Structure 1
């Protein structure tokens, strides 16, 4: 048994899951095994969507594997990164007894999935030092060990901090917790970062899982396609815990088109434009009245502290600009998160904020 499988819930290690009609690898030209309609819907004249889709289409997995530079067997496609988070909690945490470690301020879905599953949420808060927020990896490891946590969720670049985590520290944590926890690195914003991906660590650390998404850099948030990438044995467990038909056929088609070589070239151009605008917006915001601090960011957003965040939020809304209010998160009582938009949209942000009194 692979060592990482020892971290999976004992009752799920040999769990076969539901075997749908599309799971069976059989051949034929008259398909009557899934109780699908024999006739196409009138609005789907070609019958493109009459049949259930393949749960994990090989062409899609191969395309995503090529995109991220990994083997297809390491890839599980799902309904956004959210499904990857949920599947990991479901597969590794015994309901009512398991625990996860998170590093607030961070993405809220880690705690939501854990609480819906009855798992404890253990916090090892980020520490604000120097230019931004940093992860206390020693504290994370100690809390994971003390609480017998099966999962550690790290967000890099962080949401909402925008800070990337050092790969050597991630690797050391995965090594220390090899028999204790699966370390999950959520790289939803990695395309906007200048630092290497944690995917480069997978060969050495079987208890490491990386989450990626096409929602941000690839502009496919509405398609809801995310990827969990990790040890083949663990990915197979997650696959057996997944819903029978997780990927709608139109979404599969959209991803295949969006990851074509020519489209990817345009995507890279869009990412470069966003990074340039991020720099411009950060410099301009730092000089805006009422702005206390703009944090460095490796993502497609900026975390900004204000002298009066309530006034800033209201002023932006009055100008028709909607940003994310972060004041409910610990240590961010004066902060807003501003997504980097187009040049014209960013100009509207700056124009509105010049009216916020210092």
Structure 2
């Protein structure tokens, strides 16, 4: 049956074993999406959406007005209180999608951005939840994950009452890579698996999954579902690492990205899914009517402007250089019982195990004591990750500013000396 809102395709999708209509739950395929007042018209005397025609009620004195002219440079400016906050936001947000498509090189040969390959959500978390809701039948079908991985996958699995199959990563030597044969075996034994969710760079490992391994899963004929690649930290990784490069060819891949990390906009909650139009249309049909707010959209447009992207690029370079410096400083604490960093170090954080003693084994008890001492007595908050698969004794440390990195090394040195 045709996907509502999507023009019929002129040819088969690739790979041949994948049929999106067999993946999407039947009730979703037949879903008629909610029609927003702004789907048809966005200009004129708007008396169709039961909005407050007199505008918002926030005082506009100079003290309450927030002008963000310097955020993206002189080419664009924004005064939040001048926005039409009494109107519902644009449900399509095509300009944001077009800018993301340009940024991620999703363009046709004539340079037209493929905004129909982009979906926007309230953070990647909304997209993860939505993918489970449209693809995986509650109580009957399953999701495959590869621990250690992002904890929200497990939360969404439980909320949506779907099953989970876990195929842990190969953690030997701190590799944190896919065990492809074991994953294929799991698929062979359980055809109810509809999604495989991978995190690259991994959280909490910071390790990239090679594109060749992802392609191996996409080409595997016995897996009929969608491979989801969560790339929240991809902007901190070397060029050419992103699975977006696979979207043009493969209909069974969905890449998740976000403005929270590399863009430094965690507060605005904007997540991105990049996939071929059929899956994007399904997500669009099932989403809430106005999921992206006007302030969020306005800030996202700033962040995707040329001058803001230049600032972002400069800051990414600084953070990656700081990551190298911080890694070297942490390695100097070996005699105090801090082990060498594990994982791939391709994100904006590092994973380091606290050992029982210099040259000893990772020690969760000591590590958790160090974590709490830093937070409660030294004013430095890192993340204890020792209970995750392959991460015994580990603390996850976000790369901070130059001064923050200096302080964390200093305080960690002091705490390790007394614990």
TM-score by length of 2: 0.82
Cα deviation for residue 8 of structure 1 reads: 0.7
Question: 1:50-61 to 2 correspondence within 5 Å?
Answer: 50-61=86-97
User: Partners of 2:43 and 2:271 in 1: how far apart?
Assistant: 32
Range with greater deviation from structure 2 (235-244 or 47-56): 47-56
Question: 1:1-358 to 2 correspondence within 5 Å?
Answer: 3-23=19-39, 25-26=40-41, 29-43=44-58, 46=82, 48-70=84-106, 71-147=114-190, 148-177=192-221, 180-194=224-238, 195-288=240-333, 289-295=336-342, 296-307=344-355, 308-317=366-375, 318-355=377-414, 356-357=416-417
Cα deviation for residue 311 of structure 1 reads: 3.0
Cα deviation for residue 96 of structure 1 reads: 1.4
Instruction: Judge conservation of contact 2:208–2:241 (CA < 8 Å) in 1.
Output: no
Deviations 1:234-272 (A, max 9, x none): 110011111111001000000111111011011011001
SS of 2:171's equivalent? strand
User: Partners of 1:340 and 1:47 in 2: how far apart?
Assistant: 35
SS of 2:379's equivalent? coil
Cα deviation for residue 27 of structure 1 reads: 7.0
Q: What residue number does 2:74 align with? A: none
Cα separation, partners in 2 of 1:328 and 1:16, compared to 1, 3 Å? same
Higher strand share: 1
Instruction: Judge conservation of contact 2:374–2:380 (CA < 8 Å) in 1.
Output: yes
* RMSD, matched Cα: 1.7
Instruction: Judge conservation of contact 1:5–1:233 (CA < 8 Å) in 2.
Output: no
Cα separation, partners in 2 of 1:170 and 1:134, compared to 1, 3 Å? same
Range with greater deviation from structure 2 (175-184 or 342-351): 175-184
User: Partners of 1:131 and 1:112 in 2: how far apart?
Assistant: 26
User: Partners of 1:85 and 1:155 in 2: how far apart?
Assistant: 12
Instruction: Judge conservation of contact 2:174–2:390 (CA < 8 Å) in 1.
Output: no
Cα deviation for residue 325 of structure 1 reads: 1.3
Unpaired segments ≥5 residues, structure 2 = 3-12, 14-18, 61-81, 107-113, 356-365
May I ask how many residue pairs the two structures share in their alignment? 357
Deviations 1:289-346 (A, max 9, x none): 2212312410000011111202321332221110111123233231111100011101
SS of 2:95's equivalent? helix
Unpaired segments ≥5 residues, structure 1 = none
Cα separation, partners in 2 of 1:31 and 1:220, compared to 1, 3 Å? same
Larger Rg: 2
Instruction: Judge conservation of contact 2:146–2:178 (CA < 8 Å) in 1.
Output: yes
Deviations 1:145-186 (A, max 9, x none): 322210000000000001000101101101115751100000
TM-score by length of 1: 0.95
SS of 2:272's equivalent? strand
